[in-house]
Amino acid sequence: MVTIEFDFNEKITIIQANLSDPFRVPLNQFFQKTSIQPNSVNFFANGLTIIPEDTVEIYMSYLDKQEQKISVLVDPIYK
């Protein structure tokens, strides 16, 4: 189990996930917990844009894996 820290406007939301989970699982939990609309934000981890079908582990660095924690930047989409 890893801790994912979602940072949206400097407000941290913590979600737990497994390394093998598709990233859409913690993303959906984030949306439920915050009531943010899915099409209104983008997600970034370690300089990469998160693709929901990829596993959590793909976006974790060696250090992230050692600490069992990853930080995800939630960036609003401005139209």
The domains found in the chain, sorted by start residue, are: 2-76 (3.10.20.90)
- The confidence score (pLDDT) of residue 70 equals 98
27 near 43, Cβ under 8 Å? Answer: yes
> What are φ and ψ of residue 68, in 5° steps?
55, 40
- Which pLDDT does position 1 carry in this prediction? 94
Q: Is the pLDDT of residue 15 over 90?
A: yes
Q: Where are the beta strands (DSSP E) in the chain?
A: 2-8, 11-17, 41-45, 48-49, 69-76
Main-chain phi, psi angles of 32, to 5 degrees: -65, -40
- In this prediction, residue 79 has a pLDDT band, given cuts at 50, 70 and 90, of low
Local confidence band at 78 (pLDDT 50, 70, 90 cut-offs): confident
Torsion of CA 41, 61, 10, 55, to 10 degrees: 30
